[in-house]
Every structure is written in structure tokens, then in C-alpha cells.
Structure 1
């Protein structure tokens, strides 16, 4: 037997803002909202389906220190440059973590400053052969 990632959890100040951003980035939908303002998003087949869900847990202040977790994204239906333009248009920002400029990926942040990378290689969308 093995374990499987069911959900990724982000502590954040504005769960609705991040949910909207990441739904747009990943073509996810809102799966649920908690009474405290937390929001869960995921693929249309829901929790336990084809992909882990992302749970935005409301926090007044981010936890101290830098998160050691970040997401690596691959475009599915366009090249890296076109996907980069799309991500920047919906609120992503460039992050400087000491890159040389020779990397094949881009380091970005979401609207609350969580880092993620856009990789060069394209991959098939979930469910595609």
C-alpha cells in the first residue's frame, strides 16, 4: 500500500483571491467553502479524483520563515512564453531568487507572494493520452 497526496494546504490572508487565481491558472473549480472563509479548489472530479485539491486555509499572518514547498507548473495547450503571458495577466509576478537568466524555467509568485515555477516542457492535460 502507498499514500497519495489528497490536498495541498496554503495558509493565506485572502483565500477567495488565491482560489480565483489558482482556479484560473490550473483550470480548477471551487469545490467548497468553510464557514471560516477557507476555500477548497480542484479538478472537476473533486477530492480524491485525478489531481490533489488545493485548500486555502485562512490565516491572519503567514507562518514565519520561507515555505519550503512550491508548485512546478507545465503548460498543456500552449508554449511557455504564451503561458507566461497568461499567468502575468491574471496576477502572477516575477520573483528573483538569484536566477542567472539562463534557466529554462521562470520563478513567479501568486498574489500573496507564494513562489511557483513555470517549466519549459509541455505536458498533456489530465485525462489526455
Structure 2
């Protein structure tokens, strides 16, 4: 069963990993996204995440359901609120019977989340404020 959370609470990677461990899974793939200082020549000082919570949760359910129907497990946690450099912004983990599926599904979840889930970021850079997802 999947675990999906959008919250201002810090993300505990160890706790998220434990939700993926089970005897039926031989592969666990995880992605942890942190607040980085540099994007090319743009320097970021902090990021503020916001979400349309009910819609975001529905979208995450849609992303997780087909993977779980194929025998995988999905764990997603995304922070909201203000985060500083090196804070964990997002955790995506997928457990699968084999590593190839775990890798493929984990990349699918994070890529789809970035494009389809209504979570926005307000980047506070040294020269201006930028909006993105």
C-alpha cells in the first residue's frame, strides 16, 4: 500500500525507507531532492513550496495506483513551506520485485510529479524571486 504525504513537516528518509521494506521486494529505488544553492549562474537562498493539497493528493494517487497494481509500492513525501539550502524537499521511493522495475517506476513517479502535481515553488534568489514547479 502506498504512502503519500504533502506537509510542512521535515522528511525523515529512514522512516520513508522503512515503509518500502518488505520480503516481496528485491529492489528499492529512492530519490531525495534537496534545496540547492546554484542553478547554473543563479544563486538561491531559500525556497517556499505551496500546494493545492486535495488536488495534489488525488494526482499522487493516480500516479501510484498503476505501479501498485503491478505489484510495486510507492512512497512519496513532499514538503511545503519555507526550506533553506540542503533541506529535503521531496522523497520518492518505489519498491518492486526486481531492480529494473524499481528504477523505472521511481523515475516515472518523480518526473510525473514535477509535471502534473499542483505543487509550486517560489525561489528566493540573490537577484530576484522566481516561480516554478
Name the structure where helix makes up a greater proportion of residues.
2
What TM-score comes out, normalization by structure 1 length? 0.29
What TM-score comes out, normalization by structure 2 length? 0.28
